[in-house]
């Protein structure tokens, strides 16, 4: 016979697991996919921007990269809290494709890194803005929709910053 404490602990653990599983099951597949893609994009942005802080040479680029690390770390924490409340375990790293891009940028020569990072930042933010616009418009879960809607203006601002930074880097030798 098991001690009463063990039965109570087992019952509480089972209830917590079933609650999380029910939350994930209740979340629309597209909403869970959004959470996963948003998490991967955020992790990528943090990692590539840390790389830019060490490999980059242009002041505008380094300033932009620092802002990306700060903002994407903060939004990643918010996204993780949302995911946890929905019973979703988001990825803790960039996608395979994003990792390959990180390696490619990491291998870039010092003289070409700034332009490659600037181009990548614009493209990555274009993709992320598109992802968040779709979730803000189409998400079934109100919390997911609210997160996407609330985060979208910051991402649109990041895209504008990336475009400005790219223009500045492209005009340098």
pLDDT in tens, 35-61: 999 999 999 999 999 999 999 999 999
What residue segments make up the domains of the chain, in order of their start? 28-171
Cα distances (angstroms) measured from residue 167 to each of 39, 170, 171:
28, 5, 6
Separation between Cα atoms, residue 132 and residue 38, nearest integer Å: 8
Letter string b/e over residues 83-92, b meaning 16 or more CB atoms within 10 A of that residue's CB: beebbbebee
Separation between Cα atoms, residue 27 and residue 21, nearest integer Å: 10
Separation between Cα atoms, residue 17 and residue 59, nearest integer Å: 48
How far is residue 20 CA from its own chain's centroid? 22
At 114-135, the pLDDT tens digits run 999 999 999 999 999 999 999 9
Cα distances (angstroms) measured from residue 173 to each of 57, 58, 115:
11, 11, 10
Contact 93, 42 (CB under 8 A): no
Residue 65 has pLDDT above 50, yes or no: yes
User: What is residue 131's predicted lDDT score, i.e. its pLDDT?
Assistant: 97
Between 109 and 163, where is the model more confident?
Answer: 163
User: 28-171 architecture in CATH?
Assistant: Up-down Bundle (1.20)
Residue 23 has pLDDT above 70, yes or no: no
Alpha helix locations (H) across 56-141?
Answer: 59-85, 96-107, 110-138
């Amino acid at each position: 016979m098991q001690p009463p404490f063990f039965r109570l602990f087992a019952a509480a653990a089972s209830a917590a697991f079933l609650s999380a599983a029910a939350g994930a099951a209740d979340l629309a597949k597209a909403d869970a996919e959004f959470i996963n893609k948003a998490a991967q994009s955020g992790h990528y942005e943090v990692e590539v921007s840390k790389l830019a802080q060490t490999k980059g040479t242009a002041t505008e680029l380094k300033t932009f990269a620092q802002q990306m690390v700060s903002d994407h770390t903060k939004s990643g924490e918010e996204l993780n809290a949302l995911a946890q409340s929905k019973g979703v375990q988001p990825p803790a790293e960039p996608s395979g494709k994003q990792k390959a891009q990180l390696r490619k940028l990491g291998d870039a020569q010092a003289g070409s890194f700034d332009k490659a990072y600037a181009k990548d930042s614009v493209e990555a933010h274009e993709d992320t803005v598109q992802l968040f616009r779709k979730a803000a418009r189409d998400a079934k879960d109100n919390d997911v929709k609210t997160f996407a809607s609330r985060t979208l203006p910051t991402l649109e601002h990041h895209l504008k910053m990336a475009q400005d930074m790219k223009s500045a880097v492209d005009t340098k030798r």
